[in-house]
Structure 1
Amino acid sequence: MKLLRPLAAAAGVLSLLAGCALPRPPSTTASPAPPRWYAPLPHGGTQADLRQWWRRFDDPLLADLVEAAQAASPDVATAGARIAEARSARVAAGAATLPAVDASVSAVRGNAQSGVPALSTVVQNSVQVSWEADLFGGLGSRVDAATSRLAGAEAGWHEARVAVAAETATTYVDLRTCTGLVAVTRNDAASRAETARLTRLSADAGFTAPAVAAQARASAAEGAVRVTQQQAQCDLLVKGLVALTGMAEPELRRRLAAPWEEPAGIGRVAVPSVPAALLAQRPDIYAAEREVAAASADVGAARADRFPRLTLTGQINNGWIRVNGQTSNARTWAIGPLAVTLPLFDGGRLAAAEDAAAARYEEAALLYAARVRLAVREVEEALVNLDSAISRSEDVRTAYEGYRASFLAAEARYRSGLGSLIEMEDQRRLALGAELALANVQRDRLAAWIALYRALGGGWERPEPPLAQQ
């Protein structure tokens, strides 16, 4: 007991020194979000709408495609693996704060000493215990860092799922729009072909100049080229969906054959009143914030490594020795040594490690600020695109209806012999362009809603309280 008193006194002194450890840098950084939105906001909507947003499409195929894409995505799988790695790292960091207990069993058969023929058997089992006191918070800092990175990895998994869902939905909408454009170009090609046929008959009868018939044939060929190009674009989009989802192409094409209409009720997505509120909805921002906290904890751990370490070991042994038919029991135990390790000279290695950790903290803080600015930009861009598509929709539809009526009148005049082919083809190009613009503005509106869904975090909610504080 007298021997343990100086060691206990030394431990008390080290405990007092622990209170003199330098403070760690803060684990959060000021938000760089602007004070308000500068893009027009959509009216209405709630956060619940965003969480259930895909159901608003009322499209079973889209829901199946999104689910299949999330299951097949390597990004989602990688994010899941990162969660497992982060969870293992947190367990390892937490275990370092607890005593380590090891057991061993050994048996030896041989002569007890040289020149003596007697044989002996020695059997021994022991338990060893070792523990490091976390005087300066280094072990606790490593636990905090691992916990923060686990929370960030979990948020990253949600971000990957939202990104895959948005990419799949955008490709699906592009494909549905492309299919509609194929129907438009086919109708246009059929009209051109019929005009070319009638013009050829008129030219053969001598009522129309051969140059006019040649122009009609060229227009029909141009229409056929448009159909081929548009169909190729649709086929490429089908290939893209197959790659995203892993669904068999014949099955996908079979289900795509069903008629499709633009969903009417997908709007009403709630946008936070101020950009700062967006931080609670974006899993990638939360992950970046947790990385700042983890980097801060790494600085504390690196700083603690420069201070003394206090370790305590002990063991309990139990065994027996048998010599010449006599058996003796051997039981021993020991507590200690209680050891203090003080780094005196390491060539600047520990100081350099702390400087590197501090640099990583500054990097994480800058990346967090950049991530916030990027999130605000994504929302602003989606809002601008959405407002543009909604504002253009009515005008584009009016233009289409007007150009369509003008083309039908020009076509009737030409076929009755009162108009020219050039006039009709000019009106055809205007009507076709307006019809294509109408389909594209519908696609732009859906794509903007999907982009806004992704930019707002896809219905993710920040865990309360954060894992690092549980």
Structure 2
Amino acid sequence: MKALNIWLAVPAALALSACAVQGPASKVDAQAPAQWQAPLPHKGELPELSGWWQRQGDPLLVQLIEAAQNVSPTIASARSRIEDARAQSVASGAALLPNLNGVLTSTRMSQQQANVPSNTTSQALLQSSWEIDLFGRNRAARDAAQARLEGAQAGWHDARVSVAAETANQYFGLRACERLLDVARQDAASRAGTARLTELMAKAGFQSPANAALARASAADGNSRAVAQQALCDINVKALVALTALPEPELRARLAAGAASAALSPAQGVTVPALPAETLAQRPDVFNAEREVAASSFEVAGARAERFPRLSITGSVGRGRIHAAGENVTADTWTLGPVQMTLPLFDAGLRRAAVDAAKVRYETAVSNYRGAVRQAVREVEEALVNLDSTDQRAADAQTALEGYRVAFTATEDRYKNGMASLLELEDARRTRLAAENTVVALQRERSAAWISLYRAAGGGWTAAQ
């Protein structure tokens, strides 16, 4: 009769297990804006951002990004977090299933009594124990671990996007530095030529010694600028060496080989969905924050379930052998039970405090999620503003450069013919140099804005459906 009661208790417990305790909402309103405030720099279909770098027409850039991703400690840490989260998910899921162990026992017993032989009892058993998840405590732990695993997987992609963006920014920065170095060297050569001409004219009596000194000072200043610019480019190269782990001589050889075809900014832009919600759905960091909200919700449910009874069942099945007085007796054995119900009665507020703490973590996760959404919106908006600004300034900057080049050439010709002063020439030179640097800096600013938009748009990541 007792065995029958036990067997009847099992399905009853299983029926009760459907009454899982619920936590707060696992999905909350992101509070994202309805539309972008900055102008979108494109129209048309969405490109595949995951292969964006390959479509820039610069094989060296792709190679450097791949090298940096292969050696990045940030990506390695993200990968380890995935493995840790996967192990936690497996462990949490295992708690929902019965535990099965094989047991071998052997006992020899002897009594200090006449005519009572010693005997040996041996058993081979399969023992099982199972906690029936009546109120969803174990299911909540499993779901929380799964949510964090999904978030960790998205975090790995976010790390790869970050490393790609950092490497690309460093690469385009180096190419801009090289262009500025060319400008500085041309300017230094021009100043040196003017200094030589002025020195000859001063010796012939057509220029004052003061003008000759000014020309020499200008030449020295131009050479100093070129040397300083060279140092900046060398520093950029060393930064790329640290990012990619490539030997510096090899990296310099690759950079020199690709210098002729290198661009100062991406050849192909980034398309952003018209609706902010669509863009946010492509952000791995936002998805990770959203999954943390879900995990925290499940943990609240698990903490609440800790305050309800627990039901566990144990049992075993096996075969035993008794050896006594030269005789062997074998038999199959099995046990079912005990069926144990644990009811929390008094814990001095421990479980209630655990629920309160879980609620606080949930509220923090919601706040962090909405903060991540606001930050994502800000990054997209800023990149769009910068792109629009560089687009509007590009034509004016180029027009200004062409005009200042013509003005400098005319002033230089007038100076050589004695019709313009050295001060006029130096003023025209400074204006032209500033215009040259402005055009290069504007192209560099545009490349940084495209890369920022690539990163802000999620880098080609999409959530698994």
- What TM-score comes out, normalization by structure 1 length? 0.94
Give yes or no for the alignment of 1:342 onto 2:343.
Answer: yes
Cα distance in structure 2, aligned partners of 1:304 and 1:202: 96
1:5 paired residue number: 5
Cα distance in structure 1, aligned partners of 2:6 and 2:256: 85
Cα distance in structure 2, aligned partners of 1:289 and 1:256: 41
Aligned 8 A contact 2:17 2:136 in 1: no
Give yes or no for the alignment of 1:126 onto 2:125.
Answer: yes
SS in 2 for 1:67: helix
Which whole-Å deviations, capped at 9, do the CAs of 1:180-226 have from their partners, x for residues lacking one? 11111001001111111121222233332111111111101110111
Aligned 8 A contact 1:279 1:372 in 2: yes
1:189 paired residue number: 188
Cα distance in structure 2, aligned partners of 1:320 and 1:100: 25
1:413 paired residue number: 414
1:78 paired residue number: 77
Change (3 A) 1:420 1:295: same
Cα offset, 1:391, TM superposition:
0.9
5 Å-filtered alignment, 1:21-170, equals 22-108=21-107, 112-114=110-112, 120-170=119-169
Change (3 A) 1:458 1:84: same
Give the gaps of 5 or more residues in structure 1. 465-470
SS in 2 for 1:48: coil
5 Å-filtered alignment, 1:262-277, equals 262=263, 266-277=267-278
Which whole-Å deviations, capped at 9, do the CAs of 1:323-353 have from their partners, x for residues lacking one? 4432222542110000100010111111111
1:403 paired residue number: 404
| CA RMSD after TM alignment | 2.0
Structure 1 range deviating more: 9-18 or 286-295: 9-18
Cα distance in structure 1, aligned partners of 2:351 and 2:294: 21
Identity within the alignment, %: 53
Cα distance in structure 2, aligned partners of 1:266 and 1:350: 59
Cα distance in structure 2, aligned partners of 1:186 and 1:344: 84
Aligned 8 A contact 1:49 1:270 in 2: no
Aligned 8 A contact 1:65 1:168 in 2: yes
Aligned positions, number: 462
Structure 1 range deviating more: 273-282 or 388-397: 273-282
Cα distance in structure 2, aligned partners of 1:12 and 1:122: 37
Aligned 8 A contact 2:265 2:444 in 1: no
1:171 paired residue number: 170
1:459 paired residue number: 460
Aligned 8 A contact 2:180 2:437 in 1: yes
Cα distance in structure 1, aligned partners of 2:337 and 2:320: 21
5 Å-filtered alignment, 1:246-325, equals 246-258=245-257, 259-262=260-263, 266-325=267-326
| Aligned-partner residue type, residue 270 of structure 2 | V
| Aligned-partner residue type, residue 74 of structure 2 | D
Change (3 A) 1:378 1:322: same
Cα distance in structure 2, aligned partners of 1:324 and 1:156: 69
5 Å-filtered alignment, 1:197-236, equals 197-236=196-235
Change (3 A) 1:274 1:440: same
- What TM-score comes out, normalization by structure 2 length? 0.95
Which whole-Å deviations, capped at 9, do the CAs of 1:80-118 have from their partners, x for residues lacking one? 11111111111111110000001111334x552235695
Cα offset, 1:444, TM superposition:
1.1
Aligned 8 A contact 2:311 2:342 in 1: yes
Structure 1 range deviating more: 2-11 or 348-357: 2-11
SS in 2 for 1:307: coil
Cα distance in structure 2, aligned partners of 1:46 and 1:208: 65
Cα distance in structure 1, aligned partners of 2:272 and 2:134: 47
Aligned 8 A contact 2:46 2:273 in 1: no
Cα distance in structure 2, aligned partners of 1:138 and 1:419: 89
Give 4+ residue runs of structure 1 displaced > 6 Å after superposition: none
Cα distance in structure 1, aligned partners of 2:304 and 2:192: 80
1:381 paired residue number: 382
1:436 paired residue number: 437
Aligned 8 A contact 2:172 2:265 in 1: no
Give the gaps of 5 or more residues in structure 2. none
